[in-house]
């Protein structure tokens, strides 16, 4: 064998080994080594997450993340991120995952380079309107009405699906935040809002002029969002979620934050 051929074989083997090393999945190992599972969260969706009187983020998602992190042997660390930047910051590796009452469709609409875990909870998309509105008693009553939704959310997707259910609304107004839609509802600019049932319950509790129309338009799974390729971390999180779902801890935080699920 010539020296040139031997050198070519050696270089090829080295190149292949470097490729394998560079493509190695260190996602779980990185979390274990730093001892922290960092996640992005937009604390504008109570009772999943919100900023309390002390300026701290709390809610169902925060307690859930604490359990998941503890299950894999580390501490959780929440990062306050605007909704529209959650996936961008994830792909920039500012944290390990997104836990923010987010659905697969919402994650995929924000970026293609994402993956997600099994669901840790499923929520319905329902309707809220003014308590003195006697015209809307179910989703069929949204016919020829002006409805509001938060843009780039599962509620927005559900609202767009109304036409597929034979319900033709007059207009769908899309907002940056649910709070802005609620303000327009209170000011009579829209007739109803399509939101997740958790947000609906919180809104009704905080505002006695709002009522819930519990006629589900769609159901949405809530997941942890990860960078595509972080398979080791995803497997560890999936195992933790499976234990979480059947745990007494889950029952306790459901009762604490989402009691209407009982």
Q: Is residue 87 exposed (0-12), middle (13-18) or buried (19+ Cβ within 10 Å)? A: buried
Spans of the chain below 50 pLDDT: 2-22
Contacts of 86 (CB under 8 A, 6+ apart): 40, 41, 42, 98, 100, 102, 110, 225
The tens digit of pLDDT for each residue in 11-23 reads 444 444 444 444 6
Rounded Cα gap, residues 5 and 28, in angstroms: 40
Query: In 111-230, where does DSSP find H-type helix?
Result: 154-160, 178-186, 197-206
Look up residue 176 and give its two tokens.
């940056």
Q: CA-CA distances (angstroms) from residue 154 to 31, 105, 158, 190?
A: 29, 7, 6, 19
Rounded Cα gap, residues 247 and 144, in angstroms: 45
- pLDDT reported for residue 23: 63
What is the number of H-type helices and E-type strands within the chain? Answer: 10, 12
- pLDDT reported for residue 5: 45
For all residues of the chain together, what is the average pLDDT? Answer: 90
Single pTM value for the model: 0.77
- pLDDT reported for residue 108: 82
The tens digit of pLDDT for each residue in 85-130 reads 999 999 999 999 999 999 988 888 766 789 999 999 998 999 999 9
- pLDDT reported for residue 12: 46
């Amino acid at each position: 064998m010539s020296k040139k051929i031997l050198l070519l074989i050696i270089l090829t083997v080295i190149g292949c080994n470097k490729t394998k090393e560079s493509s190695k999945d260190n996602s779980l190992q990185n979390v274990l080594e730093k001892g922290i599972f960092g996640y992005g969260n937009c604390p504008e969706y109570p009772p999943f997450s919100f900023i309390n009187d002390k300026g701290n983020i709390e809610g169902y998602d925060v307690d859930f993340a604490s359990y998941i992190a503890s299950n894999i042997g580390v501490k959780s660390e929440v990062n306050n991120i605007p909704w529209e930047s959650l996936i961008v910051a994830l792909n920039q590796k500012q944290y390990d995952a997104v836990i923010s009452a987010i659905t697969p469709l919402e994650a995929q609409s924000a970026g293609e380079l994402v993956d997600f875990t099994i669901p840790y909870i499923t929520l319905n998309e329902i309707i809220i309107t003014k308590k003195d509105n006697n015209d809307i008693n179910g989703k069929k009553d949204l016919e020829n009405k002006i409805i509001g939704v938060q843009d780039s959310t599962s509620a927005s997707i559900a609202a767009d699906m109304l036409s597929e259910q034979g319900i033709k609304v007059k207009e769908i107004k899309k907002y940056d935040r649910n709070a802005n839609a609620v303000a327009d509802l209170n000011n009579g600019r829209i007739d109803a809002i399509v939101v997740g049932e958790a947000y609906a319950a919180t809104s009704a509790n905080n505002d006695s002029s709002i009522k819930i129309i519990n006629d589900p338009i769609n159901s949405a799974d809530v997941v942890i969002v990860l960078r595509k390729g972080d398979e080791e971390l995803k497997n560890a999180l999936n195992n933790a979620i499976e234990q979480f779902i059947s745990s007494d801890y889950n029952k306790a935080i459901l009762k604490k934050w989402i009691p209407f699920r009982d």
